[in-house]
Amino acid sequence: MRIVTWNMARRSQEAGWTYLVNEIKPDIALLQEVRPPTSFMGANLLYERIGDSRNWGSAIYVRGFPIHDVKIEKYRGWVVACEILLPNNSSLVAISIHAQIINNYVFPNLKNIFSDISPFLQERRFIVGGDLNSCRLIDKVYGTKYHNEFFDSIESGGFFNCHRMFHAEEQQTVWSWNTKYPYQDDHLFVSESLKEQLLSCDVLDNEHIRKLSDHSPVIAEVCI
């Protein structure tokens, strides 16, 4: 099963969705900063708009499996969740997160999100991913400790870091014009019960991707 998280950056949505579905071909896609074209709206797409002046939000796209919406009202449009029903009659919870930066800081909001979703995920198989606006490198650049403390905390608390299993270092996923450092803002996690079934996890980076978004997708292959 191919799982992807991707911040689609609100630009070229028709082209971005076409590339996602026809080229990346995910079974499950956790998406941020999206405006799904009408042609993609359907039973296997969960989308919530943030609202206010923002005409975009977050989404979960699932290829071929029925889904049930799981409401997380506190972070509406920033966090969306669903339960995916698999052919073997088992289920999988998927959560797409776009961590909002509030007053120039991602903390404590990011920590609060994970604290709020953790009780629901206990004893469940899950995939969680998204644009967390956080990475370990930030602490090295600014001489802080909060980002490493956050990742250490969630990774010791049941959120298994897919990319870290296969790569010793973070890999750049954000390519904004003002990004001076190779930050990996985008991450994928699975429950401890799924970690032995991880086959790979990589950042997809090519010229076409960078035209579609200022973020690169993170893609994991999982045997489920």
Go through the domains of the chain in sequence order and give each one's CATH number.
Answer: 2-222 (3.60.10.10)
Of 81, 79, 46, the closest CA to residue 62 belongs to 46
Q: In the chain, which residue ranges form alpha helices assigned H by DSSP?
A: 13-19, 109-121, 137-142, 146-155, 162-166, 207-212
Cis previous bond, 26, omega within 30: no
| 8 token code pair | 């689609």
Give the span between the Cα atoms of 135 and 95, in whole angstroms: 19
Give the span between the Cα atoms of 41 and 61, in whole angstroms: 9
pLDDT along the chain (224 residues), means of 10: 96 84 96 84 83 89 92 93 93 98 97 97 97 98 97 98 97 89 97 97 96 96 94
Q: How many CB atoms lie within 10 A of CB 65?
A: 16
Per-residue pLDDT tens over the stretch 188-217: 999 999 999 999 999 999 999 999 999 999
Half-sphere exposure (Cβ direction) of 95: Cα atoms closer than 13 Å? 28
Of 53, 41, 1, 49, the closest CA to residue 17 belongs to 41
pTM confidence score: 0.96
Give the span between the Cα atoms of 148 and 177, in whole angstroms: 25
pLDDT computed for residue 26 by the predictor: 96
pLDDT computed for residue 43 by the predictor: 64
pLDDT computed for residue 57 by the predictor: 95
